[in-house]
Chain A
Amino acid sequence: MADKDIARHRLGEPVVVVEGVEKAFGAFVVLRDVNLTVRRGETVCIIGPSGSGKSTLLRCINALVPISKGSITVAGRQVNDPGLDKLALRRDVGIVFQQYNLFPHKTALQNVMMAPIHVLKQKRAEVEERSVRLLAKVGLSHKHDAYPGELSGGQQQRVAIARSLAMNPKVMLFDEVTAALDPETKKEVLVTIRDLATEGMTCILVTHEMGFAREVADHVYFTDGGLIVEPPPPAEFFGAPREARTRAFLEQVL
């Protein structure tokens, strides 16, 4: 963690800035007045009960879901600008989903290679070399030619992580990526994410893994009723939460 602190001091400019964001689906307000700043190299965890808008917030950050009010800036790009180049934004923001969402008709390696070749128009040989490296990084060198249906949930999720990394994103979003996994495969995936965070990738995780959040996160945010209520350092968050609502939640889950 010491290395990481040094890296953070050196590369501290904000990558994701969320200011006064509100999101409503019809009359149902999912997010209200959410403020969040993630600096380069930081790992931020967002925890909280189901239905509190955590996943929606992640989807707002890469413009999969439009926001109703406020502003979001990612790597200097205004996400809520109507003239936003969505494709350019999504090259900078990788997202990994709870249900993996791999392309079932493509092998693991093809899944990783597809977007760089067809979206970034990079040379196939180059992409293949990098994709092979990425699969090795997530510990799946032996599964290049396996189809998603032949992989376990944890393996699929690691392919999904490699697939996002292949785009060289500036920030990675993880949407409850271990929620559908059993404890053993969960661990493989969490180790992969921890390694990424340690290497200095900017990560935003929505998670129910309290122990993981405590170990890896630079900041932990707690969402409830669409409000982000707690942004202190993780030790303080888990040790002595300031808000009564946070205390109540942690008492339930820890």
Chain B
Amino acid sequence: MRTAATDLPVLKPFRAPPIAPSGLAAPALLGAGLVAGVAIVFAASLAVAQATGPAMRDGAVTILLRWLPLIFQGFLFNLLISVLSMALGTAVGVLFGIGQVSPSAALRQPAWAATQFFRNAPWLVLLFYAMFLLPFEISLGPVAIAFPAWVKAIIGLALPVAANVSEIVRGGIRSIPSGQWESAEALAFSRRQTMWMIILPQAVKRMLPPWMNLYAILTMATTLISVVGIQDGLTVTRAALVAESRPELMLPMYLLLLLMFFAYCYPIARLTMALERRFHVKG
């Protein structure tokens, strides 16, 4: 063919090997340093408490060990709440996020308004609303569905989560190039098919890091439920301190709880960063 044949010397594209992500070691070192730092502070505070405590009574370590199982149980309850409200918030948020990119204004505008409202509201206020506005039980004819406090707390925390997930989903969908929509449209895919089979599967990998980030934030925020009187890790810790009435234990006791959260949330944060890096390189 005339066009393709050429005598001109042609430079072939040169593809440089990808530059190895430098500074990978730095965050790892930093992380290890952080863990070591917190451990040292914890040990030091414990030692101080042990040394300054009244001689007649139990040592700080003994008391801490006595309360550890209960505090840990409370912490597990925090995790349970976080998982359930994340699940609920994600389910609702995905629907709102898809609503936000709907071509129908009747769907798009309410989804946008709800998202903005709950995203910019203080979590604790939303939690108060959920606790005090939701009834104890809902009766559907003869069936009465009970609404214990912890269920209400899950709903209360799920509200801001849903709003944030909605934004993550909207952003993820918007980040897919318009050519994908165009070619799906040209292949006679319906809008719904395009969304679920072509756009969302691609967008999910871009949504995953911010979604995990949100989950870590939510997990730490679950301690808010202790304010509305639910027996979570923080409530138990506070009760333990009141029961022992040993002020020098305050520092190590709370640090113990903090360490549990840290041990759970920090790996999530690291994984999020790793995913972000991987997806960023792959484009």
Contacts and interface: CB of A to CB of B under 8 A. Distances in A.
B4 A64 contact: no
A190 B179 contact: no
B186 A95 contact: yes
Interface stretch (B20-28, B139-147, B160-168, B194-202): B194-202
Contacts of B202: 103-105
Interface string A77-116: 0000000001110110111010101111100000000110
Contacts of B188: 86-88, 90-91, 115, 119, 167
A87 B189 CA distance: 7
Contacts of B13: 182
B1 A99 contact: no
Interface residues of A, number: 40
Contacts of B193: 118-119
Contacts of A187: 1, 4
A76 interface: no
A212 B187 contact: no
A149 B201 CA distance: 16
A60 to B, nearest CB: 13
Contacts of A119: 187-189, 193
Nearest to B283: A149
Given A101-B182, A105-B202, A182-B10, A164 B3 contact: no
B62 interface: no
Contact of B183 (A101, A118, A190): A101
19 contacts: A86-B188, A87-B190, A90-B187, A90-B188, A94-B186, A97-B183, A101-B183, A105-B202, A115-B188, A118-B193, A119-B187, A119-B193, A149-B282, A160-B183, A182-B12, A184-B4, A186-B4, A187-B4, A210-B3
Top 10 nearest A-B pairs (CB, nearest first) are: A187-B4, A211-B2, A211-B3, A101-B183, A90-B188, A101-B179, A115-B187, A87-B188, A95-B186, A119-B188
Interface of A: 62, 64, 86-88, 90-91, 93-95, 97, 99, 101-105, 114-115, 118-119, 149, 160, 163-164, 167, 182-184, 186-187, 190-191, 194, 209-212, 214-215
Interface of B: 1-4, 6, 10, 12-13, 177, 179-180, 182-190, 193, 197-198, 201-202, 282
